[in-house]
């Protein structure tokens, strides 16, 4: 079987560069040579050239969505944007959705004109908060004036399909409520609200351990999540995934493909593909990534084979976090094959979580309520124990 697989897929392209490293960020991203402009562009250009090399392995593929993410894709200057997007042109015919992530400090009217002329029809903006004090405190290079400037460009161009990313937990309770209000006022078609995840590899984690920052307690986070869900529902946003809200018809097709366990190709440093029941992860070290491509090979770092059990767990975990939920019969059939005790325990567990308002059953599918979404990690791990 070829590493490349055969089906129509989604394509993700990773740009790992950022102006600075945000203190809470554990993505594969790093600050680009900050001192000299030319040095910075040379470094990014070299990377774009290798991306194009990697892309050429997928010449015969037909993609249904493309998502250029990062890092900070808008860090590419105008000529590098044109270079990358023109090489993507042949893959972009007949796409259902073409998204680019942008960070406000590196987004301009000229860049908008370039990306829209190449057919990008969805823009995702990394906002996180509308307070300069908060943005500075987490080392983001964006300032509030950049955010309004970027959204002003989209409004002026009548570009409606844009997402705003917010993070809940890097600011105080009241500031978060202001952030949410402001985000809704700007009328994005889509809102992603991520709950701060404190990863051990981050500066933010060290700051927390050293007592330099205080985090919101779980009850306040739960309260803010509930307020957000309620307010967004009243403002016409459908809650279709644990962290994602969209106006009707504006759900992210690309991301839904991940959550519904479709196949996808990831291109770039450390990018992940899922093809024909294999998870393929690219090299995460730039030198190795370049070396393999220079030798005419795909820059694969690791291949994991996903057996039926693993697939079932991953599908369960991803789909339970969406408003589509998971078919109960499939869980029951799997447990029946193991032993009767487990099926009985599952039924008992289902009854308890429903009685306590964490889940409901509709059309034979188990769906989390908002309260259930917040405890989803715990509940899903209990399901996993039964499936073991």
Q: Which is nearer to ligand SF4, 127 or 367 (CB)?
A: 127
> What is the total residue count of the chain?
388
Smallest gap from Cβ 248 to ligand SF4, in A, equals 29
- Residues 126-165 interacting with ligand SF4 (rule: CB under 6 A): 126
* Contact letters for ligand SF4, residues 289-328 (x by CB under 6 A): ----------------------------------------
- Cβ atoms of 322 and 240 within 8 Å: the answer is yes
Q: Using the rule CB under 6 A, which residue among 11, 41, 50, 71 binds ligand SF4? A: 71
Q: Using the rule CB under 6 A, which residue among 11, 47, 55, 70 binds ligand SF4? A: 70
Instruction: Locate all alpha helices (DSSP H) within the chain, ordered by sequence.
Output: 37-55, 78-88, 109-117, 132-137, 144-156, 173-185, 203-209, 218-234, 253-259, 286-294, 308-320, 328-338, 340-355, 370-374, 376-387
Sole window of 24-32, 48-56, 202-210, 252-260 interacting with ligand SF4 (rule: CB under 6 A): 24-32
Tell me: does residue 22 bind ligand SF4 (CB under 6 A). yes
Q: Which is nearer to ligand SF4, 126 or 268 (CB)?
A: 126
- Cβ atoms of 281 and 272 within 8 Å: the answer is yes
Query: How many residues contact ligand SF4, by CB under 6 A?
Result: 11
Between the CA of residue 108 and those of 99, 112, 148, 151, 386, what are the distances in Å?
17, 6, 12, 10, 52
Report the candidate in 207, 198, 124 with the shortest Cα–Cα distance to residue 159: 124
Identify the bridge partners of residue 255 per DSSP, sorted by sequence position: none
Q: Which is nearer to ligand SF4, 70 or 299 (CB)?
A: 70
Sole window of 36-44, 68-76, 82-90, 307-315 interacting with ligand SF4 (rule: CB under 6 A): 68-76
Smallest gap from Cβ 32 to ligand SF4, in A, equals 10
- Cβ atoms of 53 and 47 within 8 Å: the answer is no
Q: Which is nearer to ligand SF4, 70 or 268 (CB)?
A: 70
Radius of gyration of the chain from Cα atoms? Answer: 22
Tell me: does residue 166 bind ligand SF4 (CB under 6 A). no
Q: Which residues, in sequence order, are CB contacts of 48 under 8 Å at separation 6+?
A: 76, 80, 83, 84
Q: Which is nearer to ligand SF4, 18 or 246 (CB)?
A: 18
Tell me: does residue 18 bind ligand SF4 (CB under 6 A). yes
d(CA 25, CA 36): 24
Strand order in 238-241's β-sheet? 238-241, 244-246, 190-195, 162-168, 122-128, 97-102, 63-70, 9-15, 264-267, 272-275, 278-282, 300-305
* Contact letters for ligand SF4, residues 109-128 (x by CB under 6 A): -----------------x--
Between the CA of residue 76 and those of 31, 37, 45, 124, what are the distances in Å?
13, 12, 8, 16
Smallest gap from Cβ 263 to ligand SF4, in A, equals 25
Q: Using the rule CB under 6 A, which residue among 29, 99, 228, 273 binds ligand SF4? A: 29
Smallest gap from Cβ 107 to ligand SF4, in A, equals 12
DSSP codes, 205-264: HHHHHTTS--PPPHHHHHHHHHHHHHHHHHTT-EEEETTEEE-TT-S-HHHHHHHTT--E
Q: Which is nearer to ligand SF4, 103 or 129 (CB)?
A: 103
Q: Which is nearer to ligand SF4, 202 or 228 (CB)?
A: 202
DSSP 196: P
d(CA 159, CA 172): 32
Tell me: does residue 57 bind ligand SF4 (CB under 6 A). no
Q: Which is nearer to ligand SF4, 268 or 372 (CB)?
A: 268
Q: Using the rule CB under 6 A, which residue among 25, 246, 267, 335 binds ligand SF4? A: 25
Sole window of 53-61, 69-77, 150-158, 255-263 interacting with ligand SF4 (rule: CB under 6 A): 69-77
Tell me: does residue 5 bind ligand SF4 (CB under 6 A). no
**Element at 168 (helix H, strand E):** strand 162-168
Q: Using the rule CB under 6 A, which residue among 10, 41, 65, 72 binds ligand SF4? A: 72
Binding residues for ligand SF4, rule: CB under 6 A, are 18, 21-22, 25, 27, 29, 70-72, 103, 126
């Amino acid at each position: 079987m070829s590493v490349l697989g055969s089906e129509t897929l989604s394509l993700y392209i990773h740009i790992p560069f950022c102006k600075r490293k945000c203190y809470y960020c554990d993505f594969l991203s790093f600050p680009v040579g900050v001192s000299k402009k030319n040095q910075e562009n040379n470094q990014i250009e070299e990377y774009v050239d290798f991306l194009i090399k990697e892309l050429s392995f997928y010449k015969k593929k037909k993609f249904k969505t493309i998502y250029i993410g990062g890092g900070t894709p808008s860090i590419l200057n105008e000529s590098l944007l044109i270079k990358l997007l023109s090489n993507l042109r042949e893959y972009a015919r007949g796409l259902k959705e073409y998204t680019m992530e942008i960070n406000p400090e590196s987004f301009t009217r000229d860049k908008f004109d370039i990306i829209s002329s190449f057919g990008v029809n969805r823009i995702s903006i990394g906002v996180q908060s509308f307070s300069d004090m908060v943005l500075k405190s987490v080392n983001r290079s964006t300032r509030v004036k950049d955010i309004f400037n970027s959204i002003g460009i989209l409004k002026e161009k009548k570009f409606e399909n844009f997402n705003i990313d917010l993070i809940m937990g890097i600011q105080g309770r009241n500031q978060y409520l202001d952030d949410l209000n402001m985000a809704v006022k700007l009328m994005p078609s889509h809102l992603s609200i991520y709950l701060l995840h404190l990863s051990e590899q981050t500066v933010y984690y060290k700051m927390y351990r050293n007592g330099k920052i205080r985090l919101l307690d779980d009850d306040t986070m739960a309260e803010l999540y509930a307020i957000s869900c309620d307010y967004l529902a009243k403002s016409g946003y459908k809650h279709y995934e644990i962290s994602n809200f969209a106006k009707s018809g504006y759900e992210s097709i690309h991301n839904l493909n991940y959550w519904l366990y479709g196949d996808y190709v990831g291109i770039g440093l450390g990018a992940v593909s899922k093809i024909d029941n294999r998870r393929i992860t690219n090299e995460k070290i730039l030198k190795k990534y370049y070396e393999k491509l220079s030798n005419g090979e795909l820059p694969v770092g690791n291949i994991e084979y996903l057996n039926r059990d693993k697939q079932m767990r991953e599908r369960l975990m991803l789909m339970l976090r969406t408003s589509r939920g998971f078919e109960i019969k499939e869980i029951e059939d799997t447990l029946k094959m193991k032993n009767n005790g487990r099926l009985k325990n599952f039924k008992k567990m289902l009854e308890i979580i429903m009685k306590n308002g964490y889940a409901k059953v509709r059309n034979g599918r188990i769906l989390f309520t908002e309260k259930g979404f917040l405890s989803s990690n715990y509940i899903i791990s209990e399901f996993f124990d039964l499936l073991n």
